[in-house]
Amino acid sequence: MRPWPGTPYPLGAAYDGVGTNFTLFSEVAEYVELCLFDDDGTETRVRLPEVDGFVHHGYLLGIGPGQRYGYRVHGPHDPERGLRCNPNKLLIDPYAKAITGGVDWHESLFGYQFGDPDARNDEDSAGHVPLSVVVNPFFDWANDRPPKTPYNESVIYETHVRGLTMQHPGVPERLRGTYAGLAHPAVIEHLQGLGVTAVELMPVHQFITDHGLQQKGLRNYWGYNTIGFFAPHDGYAALPESANQVQEFKGMVRALHEAGMEVILDVVYNHTAEGNHLGPTLSMRGIDNQAYYRLVEDDPKFYMDYTGTGNSLNVRSPHTLQLIMDSLRYWVTEMRVDGFRFDLAATLAREFYDVDRLSTFFDLVQQDPVVSQVKLIAEPWDVGPGGYQVGNFPPLWTEWNGKYRDTVRDFWRGEPATLGEFASRITGSSDLYKDDGRRPYASINFVTAHDGFTLNDLVSYNDKHNDANGEDGRDGADDNRSWNCGVEGPTDDPEVNELRARQRRNLLATTLLSQGVPMLLHGDEIGRTQHGNNNAYCQDNELSWVDWTLAEKNRDLLDFTSALTAFRHKHPVLRRRRFFQGNPIRKGDELRDIAWFTPSGEEMTEQNWGDDFGRCVVVFLNGEGIPDVDQRGMRVLDDSFLLAFNAHHEDIEVTLPEEGYGAQWTVVIDTATGEVRPPEEGEPVPAGGTIVLTARSLVVLQRTGQE
């Protein structure tokens, strides 16, 4: 088989309808062999004939979609200097659009012999590693249009392709755990009823289960162990053996778009599955180790590790930055996703040692005409020194607001000295985002996520219960800021269960009534539990999968959550595009856009905010003070509301503000009863009148009777 010269761009395998162009970057390679595999595993090796700018390339006529391939890189092998080329290791194409097969944890994958890390291992790894696959780039998108939902109108639903669908009774068994299952009408109907505007999918880039988990009989469930940044994970395809995962993924995106929902991917560009210096050689380690990975400067045998996974990608290298940016653009332009959530995003800003807000990666994103136009969400921390960077990302970025999560949890479990910060968090965290020109929607507000307790477990456990992970309880966070309401785990005590139900409603309501972008964790709306496991990364079983029988058992919670999202969508004062100013909305008008009151109906003072034991606060939101205009340029107007929060363990009588704020008010949301109702169904309360706030509850009152 004689290759033509081909072209050095694009990188990866590009099928043009007649043949396929293969390209691979390696600055250290002496030459590169393309390895083609037949259905029976027969390997044919073809040396790539050309090199331009360290890109090895060649074109093969008649090679098309479905062709399985890999690379062997011939070059220097000197681990002490950070050089790890070894043609005995069959390598995955970093730009592969599809990858098939798992890792067979064989000795040949490693650069050393088991039991002797200093002994070089030159056994051929073919047959033990996944293979790259040439894909068909053509797909009928029909009339697909991205929803382009504004941030302030978004409700994000963090979910897992497999976990959401494995036990859904409406999804055919053959489609459960797949992209097609997520696109099934039964799943889409649930998401639409819940008011979701975007699904945030936990990692769908090709990933593997590491050797240690496999030895324990466990699997990598979450997927934060990437080995292919362009390839949708083949384990989520209904027909993985046909390498049809690209087409199936595109079909899922098309179906969700048609239902009005965006697709956001949780992406892991901070490390790969090749691990530390004792890890397997699967791809980039054997292609150009120094270019792709951050090595210890004084001892390049070892890897810098800002992620706790063994390695960190080298974002100081232009070729690694190109890989990341090419991947992002591919998922937007070819796979049509609508945004990204960047795992441990602070790692991407470490050009030198410290986190650098002006790093090259952020400059590239800022100027990129494709990537800069989609939703960009940072997990704004990593495990390295100075890695907690909440509030410090550039203006295009939104952030998982860890301070929001911690403050809201503390408030509802009754921790002291949280009242002032609680007020800041529920109004958009202006202290974090306003000074650099960002808006309230820079704050992605959440109280639960995949990493930690579910909502049900947050109010049912004081301590983590991670025995199933096989790490003797050493894994998972110890600072959960949870409260079991008096009993650890399940109980038949009706008072405890009633309190837990109220606390679930309090946390959901707070999230959906706060300024910013609310994010819900899948299954929280029906009371999903992981039985106290706060780190279920390796539990690909019923412990992590959504139990859909709870949808009927906890129908009241599902209905309450759906009513809350509908309420949020209806009222723009709850999802403002700009921060509150605390000023009159019109010249000569004393009524401000926001005001805060004590339970006695008096405006809050500095002394009130400094009260270490503050548990109750009332906030007035002026629906006439929204500084936005609609698509026609008309001023946005809404009703006005009072939000009354009581985190105290006893009932509190609350006096409503004086008549200037509203002549009368009607309760429309009450977490004590779980009711969300229109104002005409409630009993009006006059200005200066009183209501009783049930212990640990919140109430929303709507201004009524205005001319």
Number of residues that make up the chain: 707
d(CA 120, CA 104): 19
Residues 423 and 108: their CA atoms lie apart, in Å, by 57
Spatial distance between the Cα atoms of 149 and 260, rounded to a whole number of angstroms: 9
DSSP string, 318-336: HHHHHHHHHHHHHHHHTS-
Residue 310, CA distances (Å) to 175, 270, 361, 689 in order: 35, 11, 22, 61
C-alpha neighbours within 13 Å on the C-beta side of residue 73: 30
DSSP 137-170: -----TT-------GGG--EEEE-HHHHHTT-TT
- What are residue 616's DSSP bridge partners? 646
> What DSSP string runs through 476-496?
S-S------TTSSS----HHH
Residue of 292, 359, 282 whose CA lies nearest to 320? 292
Helix (H, G, I), strand (E, B) or coil at 288: helix
Query: Is residue 16 annotated as part of the catalytic site, yes or no?
Result: no
Nearest to 208 by CA among 219, 196, 193, 195: 219
379 is catalytic: yes
Out of 158, 338, 343, 524, the active site residue is 343
Q: Which two tokens mark 103?
A: 């890792």
Give me the residues paired with residue 216 across strands. Answer: none
Q: Of 379, 382, 457, 524, which is the active-site residue?
A: 379
Q: What is the DSSP letter of 110?
A: B
Cα-Cα end-to-end distance for the chain: 83
Tell which residue, 298, 153, 135, has the closest CA to residue 206.
Answer: 135
Cis peptide before 10 (omega within 30 of 0): yes
List CB contacts of 173: < 8 A, sequence separation 6 or more: none
Estimate to the nearest angstrom the gap between the alpha carbon of 242 and the chain centroid.
29
Residues acting as catalytic residues:
343, 379
